[in-house]
Homo-oligomer: A and B are copies of this chain.
């Protein structure tokens, strides 16, 4: 099929990497000059609302997205002439943290306490209601820790307001989690859902650094699948979705969801028969869903800012290399590596072999993984 993707970043790139072997062709709309996916299909370099570009996309067999902040009106317009998956509805919910939290509540999913904030007095009122520390976030357009401010004490309030005030905001209760986790699932147009195993995730400065899969407890997995089931059915969702979670003891709290492929599930490319990218395309194209069972154990390491030299990394057995062909820039996700192993002791040994190649911060994060 000819598949149009709004956005041509690394997620679009990995969608194309999964879809080209199966014979799909790709068209990307992205205003960037030379985005990561551009060489894997026809790159329309234009603003999101560009009429000529949208006309080209309207002639595709399917439309999907590689990021959640696609303008809703663009999706609505395209929906008139081509099948758009997932539908605009999921984006509307995911694009606004306040609506998203309300959706979680409506479905009975535990989520941190929150308050909408539009003014200084509302911020003070919200802080008094939720107590500190708390996290002030823009309701819209936040990602990778952007648009967030952790308020530790009352004196931080003014700085937080200066940085984020003027836009619709949300204050969220600070959750003293044991660790973070994420679950990815895929839903087909006839409501079939397949769940990937939970991964344990580790962030720094709001950016995902590590994700490990294969250590999951069946009780948490069940709870996560239950939450996903409710959310996907409610949104009549088609494609892959990731729900980010806080793990507190043996309970889960829903943090946010992404209506697209997600960084925390990149290890599915090598460690699962049908990766999140493969299954997203299967769902989008009305193909039967593929197997999501994990073969063994996996760890994913993000490369932030620049790519390391591959030779030393590739000497470690089970190491898979992903370079998004993006130019180096501080804080930018430019690639990742996935380490696979048939069992936990072997993965632990390979992680130990990896340690000398990591910076201090990443090394300590890896050592502290649950």
Contact = CB atoms under 8 A, between A and B. Distances in A.
Contact of A323 (B17, B22, B269, B320): B22
A22 B295 contact: no
Given A23-B321, A291-B317, 10 more contacts: A22-B321, A23-B307, A23-B325, A270-B273, A273-B318, A273-B320, A286-B311, A287-B311, A288-B315, A290-B314
Contacts of A286: 311
Contacts of A270: 273
Name which of A25, A286, A321 has the most chain B CB atoms within 10 A of its CB: A321
A149 interface: no
Q: How many copies does the complex hold?
A: 2
Interface residues of A, number: 35
Contacts of A22: 310, 321-323
A317 B282 CA distance: 13
Contacts of A335: 23
A39 interface: yes
A324 interface: yes
A291 B311 contact: no
Interface in A299-319: 307, 310-311, 314-315, 317-318
Interface in A1-60: 14, 17, 20-23, 25, 39-41
A242 interface: no
Name which of A41, A270, A288, A325 has the most chain B CB atoms within 10 A of its CB: A288
A340 interface: yes
Interface in A262-280: 269-270, 273
Contacts of A40: 20, 40
A273 B340 contact: yes
Contacts of A291: 317-318
A23 B323 contact: yes
Nearest to A325: B23
Contacts of A273: 270, 317-318, 320, 340
Given A40-B40, A340-B273, A324 B23 contact: yes
Nearest to A315: B288
